[in-house]
Amino acid sequence: MSQDRRFSFEFFPTKTDAGHEKLMNTARHLATFNPDFFSCTYGAGGSTRDRTINTVLQLESEVHVPAAPHLSCVGDSKSDLRGLLEQYKAAGIKRIVALRGDLPSGMGMASGELRYANDLVSFIREETGSHFHIEVAAYPEMHPQARNFEDDISNFVRKAHAGADSAITQYFFNADSYFRFVERVQAAGVTLPIVPGIMPITNYSKLARFSDACGAEIPRWIRKQLEAYGDDVHSIQAFGEQVISEMCERLLDGGAPGLHFYTLNQSEPSLAIWNNLKLPR
């Protein structure tokens, strides 16, 4: 892929064989676009531990694209985390997305020996030195639990100082929020690449639910237009594709160092944007 920009696709591990087969087919299709890496989410507290490991190893061995497991620290002991790091290192995995995670409801209070993502980043560095390229999460519209924007920026900076190499953002629909975030982080002396996380719009009710939970704001004009389409899936997708393609174009023109697509295990919505942007194959 390009020397100075990077493009990646994220998957989630599935519970069924049919879901897993679909994920692998999606990955094979996306691999033909020569992305820099794939990533695979991890259920906080270890709920997807084996499925995340298997998916990542299979993406590497069968699809031949570097794969990065997500790893979260809430609900996992240091010894669990150490075991995972050793396993990934032995398998030749070179990149990890390090997160605090959110325990699924019903799993009780946050437990585990490491409290925040910066603790996990420090732990990975202590255990494995410079073996892994460490990605962390960034929130251009502020993490929903942060006390205020300043605090959230300081906490992001803490992750950089702990040894993160680059960051992937929560998704957003307003390019200005990304540029403002990057400016604030750079003003704090941190220059690591912050790659926008891109969520294609394909289904309004799911998107609204996700966005409420993770604190991503759907601008009023987008919300109103999507609501007006009702059940007209075709119009929702066409409008979504246009809005997100235009935003991505602005992000890349404005200096974003690449794009990370939240695929939800589907190739077409991300590829439609990819093709609109005329990204290289």
- The residues binding ligand FAD (CB under 6 A) are 41-42, 44, 70, 72, 97, 99-102, 116-118, 137, 143, 145-146, 151-152, 155, 158-159, 168, 170, 197
82: amino acid identity, one letter: R
- Report in angstroms how near the CB of residue 233 gets to ligand FAD at its nearest: 27
Smallest gap, in angstroms, from Cβ of residue 10 to ligand FAD? 7
Smallest separation (angstroms) from ligand FAD to the CB of 195: 9
The residues near 102 (Cβ < 8 Å, ≥ 6 apart) are: 44, 74
Residues 245, 277: contact at Cβ < 8 Å? yes
- 10 counts as catalytic: yes
Q: What's the closest the beta carbon of residue 225 comes to ligand FAD, in angstroms?
A: 25
| Cβ-contact 248, 259 below 8 angstroms | yes
Alpha-carbon distances of 208 from 126, 167, 205, 216, 236, rounded to whole Å: 39, 24, 5, 9, 13
* Nearer of residues 26 and 41 to ligand FAD, judged by Cβ: 41
> How far is it, in rounded angstroms, from Cα 54 to Cα 255?
35
Q: Between residues 42 and 88, which has the closer beta carbon with respect to ligand FAD?
A: 42
- Give the Cα separation of 279 and 37 in Å (integer): 15
Compare residues 197 and 240 and give the one whose CB is closer to ligand FAD: 197
The smaller minimum CB distance to ligand FAD, of residues 72 and 245, is found at 72
Residues carrying an active site annotation? 10
